[in-house]
Amino acid sequence: MRRALTGSALAGLGLVASTLVAGTAQAAETVTIAQVQGTGAESPLVGRTVTTEGVVTAAYPTGGYRGVFLQTPGTGGHGGGAGPRAASEEQRASHGVFVFSGALAADVKIGEHLRVTGPVSEYQGLTEISPAAGGWSRIAGKVRPVRPTPVRFPMSEARRESLEGMLLRPVGRFTITNNYTTNSYAEIGLAAGSKPLPQPTDVVRPGTTAYDRVVADNARRLVTLDDGASVNYGSGANRNLPVPWLRPDNEVRTGAPVRFTKPVVLDFRNGLWKLQPTSQLLGGGAGPRAAKDQHSGGAVSAEPVRIGSTRQPGPRNVGGKLKIGTFNVLNYFPTTGEDWVRSGKGTCTYYKDRAGAPTTVDTCTNDGPRGAANRENFERQQAKIVSAVNRLGADVVSLEEIENSASLGQPRDAALATLVEALNAEAPRDRQWDFVRSPSSVPASEDVIRTAFIYRKASVRPVGQSTILDDPAFDNARDPLAQEFRPVRGSRSFVVIVNHFKSKGSGEGEDADTGDGQGASNASRVKQATALVAFARSQAQAHGTGSVFLTGDFNAYRQEDPVKVIEDAGFVDVVSRHTSKASYQFDGLVGSLDHVFASRAAARTVTGADIWDVNADESVAREYSRYNANVTDLYSPGPYRASDHDPEIVGFRP
């Protein structure tokens, strides 16, 4: 749906209308496309009616764009400009422009030479000419061809403005950095270079000049690959249209390498610089050749890029006699929304698939469940989690976001027992699981989600009861859970404390977002880190061991204040010492919210660590919660996109 034009554009259109009412059409100025574009962010001719000519480089009669791109004949190639005789100012201006007219797009073909007449406007930052009916004509005879201009990113804002609307050939390496809206708007965020864009506070301290430099560098590296359409494939009847890019047999993962194989057009829509295929890209095929670009007004483009495969069947070998893992299991709730409603304890609303059937809980009253809507979707969720946990290869796994069954009126460990039963149904006889039982004393008030431990019975055994830290610092988060373990064949015990700190999503007062990059509730997370350090020391003393691991979802990136509190207390982020991978993707930026910290004594025993990028890099379209969200079935029971966080694993010799 088109939004309003700028005020100056409306004023210009009003002038044209009033002139027509008076019976004398406004005289059109004959200009070049470069003069229409100008050298600034906005056309100097906004509101004026112009006549210009160009070659059609892209056409979108379907998909919502309703227009074509024109480019000055003979421009492009390595020079990018109009040739050696071009005025220097025009060389700095773009030679491409978008012409908004559905009738025109349906009437012409790519490669035709046109003359168009219409008012100039800026539509959300994109320069446009909007001809009325009959406001265009074909120009006969030979025309100098337009050639794609080879370009490299990173690219400044000014350089992008100088190429707006032009046919480009991006060269060099790109990496997928954002695939969150791929399943809805068929967009893929790309980062120039061989790595996705980092979450600034994962690599530098927040609120510093170094932070500002990372933000600026991310902006220069980012460009979004689109599908030549404004269709939302996750909405209404559009769900029955196959979504482009995504197929059951491909990946489109964050971190995957990308190379351009076809020309694209640079434009600006929805606040983003985008690279558009020369015609609308349709989904549903078996690969990039399924839809051929016929260079006609009604053509469908083939995919203009080649995307590499980066999936790994499991984490790399981290060595050691034992292995500790941590895994946020994305609201694993055997108590479904429909179970809650049937029990009479509350009501629920749901997210629904394209047939209107519930898939996941939106909200449930009376602090009800947060996961699957019904048994069918829970089974889909559980199949993926079981596959991922069994493939992780850990002996002890700390879990976050598992149902606290006690808050739903059941035994506290009911959900944990359900997961272990499902794991054992798929695990070998010599790799069976058990879970750490809840302690006899638990806090009076707990969240509906909790932390927990599972372990391989053949490898380790718990020593004594687990202990929950009941501290006011965790009143708005999940209480840390500690357990001493001892190898089945060995005598040196170790303590693991699993955590799930307050999220970044909300906070007020001292917890309000200060804008330094750490998000909301940073003050709470700092208090939680401080309380955790004291708890860890007391647990080490109580169990007579210096080997302590702090695991879980800390909701803090590697350079943020809560992490510094833990590291300043002598704990080592052992995962970041062994891998540069990240465990989480948010808003097209990657970083680690999940960590394994080791006391100094424990760190000396660590042999390796890895982040198994099985979840965060995957499109959300493959999550159980998006089952039947589009006519293309992207669900599989394997481990990929079992959660939104990647599991981490650490090998060590106790």
Domain boundaries, the chain: 7-146, 157-307, 333-652
> Global pTM?
0.92
Q: How far apart are CA 435 and CA 433, in angstroms?
A: 7
Polymer length in residues for the chain: 654
pLDDT above 50 for 513: yes
Q: Which residues pair with residue 548 across a beta bridge? A: 495
Tell me what pLDDT residue 27 has. 82
Q: 3-state SS string over 268-325?
A: EECCEEEEECCCCECCCCCCCCCCCCCCCCCCCECCCEEECCCCCCCCCCCCCCEEEE
Residue 365 pLDDT grade (very low, low, confident, very high; cuts 50, 70, 90): very high
- 19: which 2 tokens? 């002139």
Over residues 328-346, the mean pLDDT reads 98
3-state secondary structure of 400: strand
Tell me what pLDDT residue 506 has. 87
Q: How far apart are CA 131 and CA 66, in angstroms?
A: 12
Over residues 396-423, the mean pLDDT reads 98
Over residues 481-498, the mean pLDDT reads 96
Residue 300 pLDDT grade (very low, low, confident, very high; cuts 50, 70, 90): low
Report which of 454, 449, 452, 429 is spatially closest to residue 439, judged by C-alpha positions: 452
Q: Which amino acid is at 534?
A: A
Q: How far apart are CA 59 and CA 69, in angstroms?
A: 7
Q: 550-586 b/e with 16+ CB inside 10 Å = b?
A: bbbbbbbbbbbbbbebbeebebbbbbbebbebbbbbb
Query: Between 3.60.10.10, 3.30.750.24, 3.10.290.20, 2.70.40.10, what CATH number should domain 333-652 receive?
Result: 3.60.10.10
Tell me what pLDDT residue 25 has. 52
Sign, CA dihedral 501-504-508-513, equals positive
Over residues 131-153, the mean pLDDT reads 96
Tell me what pLDDT residue 453 has. 98
Contact between residue 574 and residue 603 where contact means Cβ atoms under 8 Å apart:
yes
pLDDT above 90 for 491: no
pLDDT above 70 for 301: no
Over residues 134-139, the mean pLDDT reads 96
Over residues 437-462, the mean pLDDT reads 96
Mean pLDDT of the chain: 92
Sign, CA dihedral 91-93-96-101, equals negative
- 634: which 2 tokens? 């992207």
Tell me what pLDDT residue 87 has. 44
35-49, 172-186, 276-290: which has the minimum mean pLDDT? Answer: 276-290
Helix%, strand%, coil% for the chain, nearest 5: 25, 30, 45
pLDDT above 80 for 13: no
pLDDT above 80 for 290: no
Q: In the sheet that 305-307 helps form, which strands lie side by side, from edge to edge? A: 149-151, 167-170, 264-269, 272-276, 222-225, 188-192, 174-178, 257-260, 305-307
Contact between residue 394 and residue 454 where contact means Cβ atoms under 8 Å apart:
no
pLDDT above 90 for 277: yes
Angle between helix axes 561-568 and 522-543 (nearest 10 degrees) is 20
501, 569, 522, 211 alpha-carbon torsion, rounded to 10°? -120
What is the radius of gyration, based on Cα positions, of the chain?
29
Sign, CA dihedral 458-460-466-468, equals negative
In degrees and rounded to multiples of 5, residue 257 shows phi and psi of -75, 145
- 352: which 2 tokens? 């629904």
Residue 490 pLDDT grade (very low, low, confident, very high; cuts 50, 70, 90): confident
pLDDT above 70 for 91: no
pLDDT above 90 for 629: yes
Tell me what pLDDT residue 1 has. 29
Contact between residue 371 and residue 336 where contact means Cβ atoms under 8 Å apart:
yes
Q: Which amino acid is at 211?
A: Y
Question: What is the CA 316 to chain-centroid distance, rounded?
Answer: 24
CATH code: domain 7-146 is 2.40.50.140
Tell me what pLDDT residue 92 has. 86
Tell me what pLDDT residue 20 has. 33
Sign, CA dihedral 369-373-379-382, equals negative
pLDDT above 50 for 291: no
Over residues 198-221, the mean pLDDT reads 98
pLDDT above 50 for 448: yes
pLDDT above 90 for 214: yes
- Selected residue with higher pLDDT from 401 and 507: 401
- 132: which 2 tokens? 């009325």
Q: Above pLDDT 70, what percent of the chain?
A: 91
pLDDT above 90 for 18: no
pLDDT above 70 for 507: yes
Over residues 190-206, the mean pLDDT reads 98
Tell me what pLDDT residue 296 has. 35
